[in-house]
A and B are shown apart, each in its own frame.
Chain A
Amino acid sequence: MSTATSSFLSVRDLKVHFPTADGIVKATDGLSFDLEKGKTLGIVGESGSGKSVSSSAILGLHRGSSAQISGEILLDGVDLLQVSDEEMRRRRGLDVSMIFQDPLSAMHPYYTVGNQLMEAYRVHNNVSKKAARVRAIEMLERVGIPQPDRRVDDYPHQFSGGMRQRAMIAMGLINNPGLLIADEPTTALDVTVQAQILDLLQDLQREFDSAIIIITHDLGVVAEMADDVLVMYAGKAVEYGPTKDILVRPEMPYTWGLLSSVPDVAADTSSKLVPIPGNPPSLLNPPTGCAFHPRCPHVAKVPGDLCRTVQPDLVTGRQGLGHLKRCHLADPDTVYANEVLPEFDPVLADELADELTAADSNEKGLQ
């Protein structure tokens, strides 16, 4: 891992608060992460956990609203929260761009797809309309739209869902931005189309060496796309680290819950789904202590009233540097291997238990 200052994107203690008549909604409350060029970060969490709010803060989309934003967003060494509106407008689309979930509502229905792509290009490049059109066709071809020279004059409604998403990606990448934020890019799509779009994103990332933040609630997408994962709950990061560590040996009960509540196409069908009880908390009045404690089935394992009273810090987990978690549980690995995993995936549970005992005996051997 490199130091924070040399990262391409470095978010430090980002807070996005919305004052409302009922009080302050802390949509994002102290979020920090780093992202290198050519790497992908997956942000997962339920609706209302602050995933999208944080990413729109990076894009400066809360400027002009009543949102109170603090912290640092360093992109290539420049703090995006400090630059002027004019400067932010210059960077938006050029250095950072975004792909939205629903391309039908994110594209203007009155303009042709080509027109919208050309506009995105001409805002940042002083070129003729003709040259911009050539570039738009080139991008449409790059993202795999058949007959791009004809389709460039179509309106968004004439495209199918998958093609619209491709056009969105073309628009996002037309200026070769260093950072691409994809907010649920495939949620509205069918699985076969989703596979096509994810392939495309990965090819383009390799080609342009861009950093990608992919926001999703689908852990399968994260597993296949992301290098790092950030799990958010009630505006805070609750677990953060390399994808393999987080998804194979998660240490935070919320992540366990996310994993256990999704059926797997290969899992035993007699195993019951283990949902997370209750509902996500209100951000107006988040629970005291650990925000997850009202829904957490493991509160009793922590001595005293710690979960209810003290907010756990984001500390290094048991798997060493780079895996951060926000939880009071003293021995999460054992709980996960013995109690959580057997309920929804007995096969994996056995594997993990074996691994743990092996690791244990190794440690004893070393001593």
Chain B
Amino acid sequence: MTTDELTDRGAGSALTEAKPILRVEDLKMYFPVKSSGLMRRTIGHVQAVDGVSFQVNAGASLGLVGESGCGKSTTGRLITRLYKPTGGSIDFDGRDIAKLSENDLHPLRRDVQMIFQDPYTSLNPRHTVGSIIGAPLAIHKVVPKNKILSRVQELLEVVGLNPEHYNRYPHEFSGGQRQRIGIARALTLQPKLLVADEPVSALDVSIQAQVINLLQDLQKEFGIAFLFIAHDLAVVRHFCPEIAVMYLGKIVEIADRDTLYQRPHHPYTQALLSAVPDVKQAKVGGRRERIRLEGDVPSPINPPSGCRFRTRCPIAQDICARVEPPLLQVGPTHKVACHFPGEMGKHPEKPITPRLLGVDDSGSADLAAGPATELPTGPGYSDTWFDLKNNTMGKA
């Protein structure tokens, strides 16, 4: 893949044609909730991630956004296999890594690395920067011991730090510099996929831009694929050509960046986007008109039936409580999980999904509606999608 393709910010083709390096299908992570007392029985599960499918192409980047508790960080940790998934598959470079044992994972660690959110707690304070960055080289025996130092210095230079500082300790660096050390450590083994979990949210605004630019340069130079997890919608939009929005453990909308930010079809994406305070508002003064969501995100231990967003959704109807909306492809690179998908203010009055699911408009099973259509549920996009104008499955 050439750098031209990497920098291609146009939507369509680049997203569908390139070869996927990561395919995640129906990924699930349930954490047990234990009762108090001696027995510590399992009394329920936190459904942190519940059936998530997406793919990341080689050298591309996918953004994962959502509010705290939506499962985006858990997804990142599942892909790096810091957690063992409850269900589903993680196909990395042609191998399913979801069920691999600790030993079999060892070689994989070279290819998938992670950048953590907090540069203050993710670096061992008692190790020098040189030993932190050099550790992966020693563990994987990539280079002989006497060559490690020169490779470390090279890496320090790549991330914009002084190579002479390898002997210093993390506390001698500022927040932005520490995040660069974290990035250097992640780059040490030349990974194919980098999971960046909120890589800039702990940094000052002026430093954020430095780190984002650094990550972009590195991606261009080394062709690394990114799974970029963040809650800051503007940062994700700037970094990723394709973005998935998560809510309570599920992807509610996934699309190329222009579609997602200009024509979002899911009411949650619309609310999320309208909530971002805008600097340009200074010209007009006062607050921007926005969709106001009531209340908080429900508990993932006992999520709402049907659509998980329905308890806060401004357009929810009966069907939303009864049937869970499928993640339906509605454009060449656009999928949305809603019974009433549409641009802001133009949501259809009747649900579009009943015929596909074999139910009536209020969500009760309906024999007259015929059997449910087989809907593609996997990651990626297909050439046929549901045409919202004609309400039928159509072809491009």
Interface residues of A (CB under 8 A from B): 46-47, 146, 160-163, 190-196, 198-199, 202, 217-225, 243-244, 246-248, 257-267, 269-270, 272-277, 279-280, 348
Contact = CB atoms under 8 A, between A and B. Distances in A.
A198 B290 CA distance: 12
B278 interface: yes
Interface in B172-203: 174, 176-177
B204 A195 contact: no
6 contacts: A199-B287, A224-B287, A224-B288, A275-B208, A279-B174, A279-B176
A224 B278 contact: yes
A277 B210 CA distance: 8
B234 A262 contact: yes
Contact of A265 (B271, B273, B283): B273
A280 B204 contact: yes
A358 B50 CA distance: 58
Contacts of B206: 46, 257-258, 261, 275-276, 280
Interface string B270-290: 011101111111110111101
A220 B277 contact: yes
B218 to A, nearest CB: 14
Given A198-B277, A224-B288, A265-B234, A192 B9 contact: no
Contacts of B293: 192, 195-196
B39 interface: no
Given A220-B276, A280-B204, A163 B234 contact: no
Contacts of A146: 295
- The residue in A161, A190, A244, A258 that gathers the most chain B C-beta atoms within 10 A of its C-beta is A190
Contacts of B174: 279
Given A202-B287, A224-B287, A191 B282 contact: no
Nearest to B213: A273
B67 interface: yes
Contact of A262 (B205, B271, B282, B287): B205
B294 to A, nearest CB: 8
A195 B280 CA distance: 16
A217 B257 contact: no
Contacts of A225: 287
- The residue in A221, A223, A243 that gathers the most chain B C-beta atoms within 10 A of its C-beta is A223
B237 interface: yes
A196 to B, nearest CB: 7
Contact of A264 (B280, B282, B283, B290): B280
B238 A46 contact: no
B393 interface: no
Given A192-B272, A275-B210, A265 B204 contact: no
Interface of B: 9, 67-68, 174, 176-177, 204-210, 212-213, 231, 233-235, 237-238, 257, 261, 271-273, 275-283, 285-288, 290, 292-293, 295-297
A199 B271 CA distance: 15
A169 to B, nearest CB: 16
Given A247-B283, A273-B213, 9 more contacts: A47-B204, A192-B275, A217-B205, A220-B279, A244-B285, A263-B235, A265-B278, A266-B278, A269-B9
Contacts of B176: 279
Contact of A221 (B209, B231, B237, B277): B277
A265 B261 CA distance: 8
Given A220-B281, A270-B9, A195 B275 contact: yes
Contacts of A270: 9
Contacts of B237: 263, 265, 269
Closest A-B pairs by Cβ, 9 of them: A220-B277, A275-B209, A261-B209, A247-B282, A276-B206, A263-B238, A190-B67, A273-B209, A223-B282
Contacts of A261: 205-206, 208-210
B278 A220 contact: yes
A249 to B, nearest CB: 10
Given A47-B204, A191-B276, A279-B174, A244 B231 contact: no
Contact of A224 (B177, B205, B233, B281): B281
- The residue in B68, B206, B207, B238 that gathers the most chain A C-beta atoms within 10 A of its C-beta is B206
- The residue in B209, B235, B278, B287 that gathers the most chain A C-beta atoms within 10 A of its C-beta is B209
Contacts of A243: 282, 285
A199 B235 CA distance: 24
A263 B261 CA distance: 14
Contact of B282 (A244, A260, A266, A276): A244
Nearest to B262: A266
Given A198-B277, A275-B210, A265 B9 contact: no
Contacts of B207: 275, 279
Contact of B204 (A46, A190, A199): A46
Nearest to A272: B213
A198 B205 CA distance: 21
Contacts of B287: 198-199, 202, 224-225
B248 to A, nearest CB: 13
A52 to B, nearest CB: 14
B277 A163 contact: no
A162 B286 CA distance: 22
Nearest to B208: A261
Given A195-B292, A272-B213, A264 B234 contact: yes
B197 to A, nearest CB: 16
- The residue in A257, A264, A265 that gathers the most chain B C-beta atoms within 10 A of its C-beta is A265
B346 to A, nearest CB: 20
A192 B290 CA distance: 10
B296 A160 contact: yes
A258 B209 CA distance: 10
